[in-house]
Chain A
Amino acid sequence: MHNDIKVMMFTWEFPPRIIGGISPHVYCLSRSLAKNHIKVYVVTCDFPGAPKHEVVEDVEVFRIDSYKTPSPDFASWVYLMNMNMQKEAAAIVNKVGGIDIFHAHDWLVANASIGLKHVFRKPLLATMHSTEIGRRNGLHSDYEKMIHETEAWLTYEAWKIICCSNYMISHVKWAFGLPEDKMVMIPNGVHTKDYEHISNFGLNNFRIKFALPEEKIVLFVGRLVYEKGVHVLINAMPKILEKVNAKFVIVGSGYMKQSLSDLVRNMGLSHKVLFAGFLDDETLRNLQICADVSVVPSLFEPFGIVALEAMAAKSPVVVSDTGGLSEIVEHDVTGVKVYPDNSESLAWGVTRVLLDEKYANLLKENAYKKVKETFNWERISQQTKNVYKAVLSGYSQTFWA
């Protein structure tokens, strides 16, 4: 199509660089937008072994020098990385003959995207995946306030703000004092196809690496940080093990890794818990398919993509009734909701699923159907394209056009 919309997307992570949920989100979003006749240029941080420039399924990816000189702290690194990102992206905009829309993902790319908005006078959109005030449950230092104000700056400069759940819409609106008409809710998505091609025979050989045949697998996937509530799961383990023989597999890494494994050891549960660390996509998907129950015990959760992934993998889910998780899961229909930050409640939910196979199967089937209908990327890319079109039509009326 000759009149494709050209979008430059900024993200600090893009595969093979994966730190959290933004990387898979931008990967899937850009790919599905490309299928929907949007020309997407992704500008992201470099990664060892990944090319500086490549075309991934019609998406052009540029990896910039992410500033490897030692920085005083993480936030300073982010701003310095943005300095490089902006400099390189400015040259790329000219090289590709202009851009129609800039689209930023989180404060981590705020500076670069805001600067280029004004330099090239093109509209800026921002997807807010999370907030500092939510992650930290308040603002306790100048460092946290600075990040919060950077987020506020991005939402101020953005023409539209996309959030992945109604919970995040109201949270972001509250956190930055934004008008409702600036916000758009577009859910996150998952590809059910990614979980389809695995044979049962291979899975049994695979499963044995993580748990004994007689043990049920209870799976946690996420960063090992406070707001993900892994400690709530660990405190629920003795109660669960009273009723069911299970192995708890914990996938991911984070600053709480040491204190969590100390907690497990002090509770005498080392033989029942496997800290699997960070896993590649294929191993993780197989593990999600094998899991007898997938647990998402978050205290703060803007969306909760791991719950969707588990649903796509036909693993029954037990989630804490908070944030985006509350909207994804319908209690007793597509999963089990438990009280957040409550080990008793979590233990109840997990044992209920593990002890009643008929109930677990019903949840799985309903959840899979729900994922296919609501959280598919074709639908999400169409909704995103509609936002682009609306913004461009508004833009054509301004003196920047």
Chain B
Amino acid sequence: MRVILFSWEFPPRIVGELAGYVRDLALQLVNKKVKTHVVTYHDYLTGESEEKGGLKTYRVTNPVKTHISVLTWVLTLNQEVERAAANIYYGVNKQVDLIDVHDWHFIPAAVTLKKAFNIPFIYSVESLEDHRSRGANSPFNMAIKGIEWLGMFEAQKIVVKSEWMASEATRLYKVSSDKVRVVTPRTHMWIKAILGIYTSLSERRVTNA
């Protein structure tokens, strides 16, 4: 199985909790013999590199340097994420089983790649705009919520880290609860549960093909 993880933060670039989580997840997957690629952002450490244990990381930078908001910053960065993912895809003879996108930033890229290559994706939720900017309904917040909605709508599965987040995802975005899986990070069942979800998606893909 070959998986690409999308995350806007990854060590050495750490913004919040997500960077450490995605690194731990990626290393655990490599341990379990999953061919794992991470596509992430870095100002100047760009291109492909191989980390310890065979984890492959592809860092891109933003082709547009001046921005008016994190929203526009994210939206011009997505094409570089697509370029990196496409380079991985063509480099491995198109054998990519799924994309796991962490939080909203790279959902546009995941959706385009799904339409173009028929690669299913998982939307892994760290946090939602409604909680980050409680009560804020400006066009800026609504645009980010729109991208989160797109991710919920287009993803094959939504993975959340708590029962509370599962109920929030279904409440805020009206996704049916059987699309949502709760996986508590870093417990002894953690990677087994993630792998179970990955395997069910990639197997279904083979059956559908």
- Measured CB to CB, the residues of A under 8 A from B are 67, 69-73, 75-76, 79-80, 82-83, 86-88, 90-91, 93-94, 111, 114-116, 118-121, 142-143, 145-146, 149-150, 153, 156
Asked if B172 lies at the interface with its beta carbon under 8 angstroms from chain A, I say no
Contact A69 B67 (CB under 8 A): no
Give, as a whole number of angstroms, the nearest-CB distance from B26 to chain A.
Answer: 23
Which listed residue, B109, B117, B139, touches A72 by the CB 8 Å rule? B139
Residue pairs across A and B with CB atoms within 8 Å: the count is 103
Which residues of B125-169 have CB atoms within 8 Å of chain A's CB atoms? 138-140, 142-143, 146-147, 150
Contact A76 B69 (CB under 8 A): yes
Q: How far is the CA of A153 from the CA of B117 in the complex (A)?
A: 25
Given contacts A118-B86, A119-B82, contact A153 B108 (CB under 8 A): no
Main secondary structure of the interface of B (DSSP, over half): helix
Contact A120 B66 (CB under 8 A): no
Q: Mark B101-123, 1 if CB is under 8 A from A, else 0.
A: 00000001101110111000000
Asked if B184 lies at the interface with its beta carbon under 8 angstroms from chain A, I say no
Which listed residue, B64, B108, B116, B140, touches A83 by the CB 8 Å rule? B108
Please, which residue of chain A has its CB at the minimum distance from the CB of B84? Answer: A118
- Measured CB to CB, the residues of B under 8 A from A are 63-69, 71-72, 75-76, 78-79, 82-83, 86-87, 90, 108-109, 111-113, 115-117, 138-140, 142-143, 146-147, 150
Q: How far is the CA of A111 from the CA of B79 in the complex (A)?
A: 7
Contact A121 B86 (CB under 8 A): yes
Which chain A residues lie closer than 8 Å to B79 at the CB level?
Answer: 111, 114-115, 118
Give, as a whole number of angstroms, the nearest-CB distance from A74 to chain B.
Answer: 11
Q: How far is the CA of A120 from the CA of B64 in the complex (A)?
A: 22
Contact A150 B116 (CB under 8 A): no
Which chain A residues lie closer than 8 Å to B139 at the CB level?
Answer: 69-72, 76
Which chain B residues lie closer than 8 Å to A156 at the CB level?
Answer: 63
Contact B64 A146 (CB under 8 A): yes
Please, which residue of chain A has its CB at the minimum distance from the CB of B89? Answer: A119
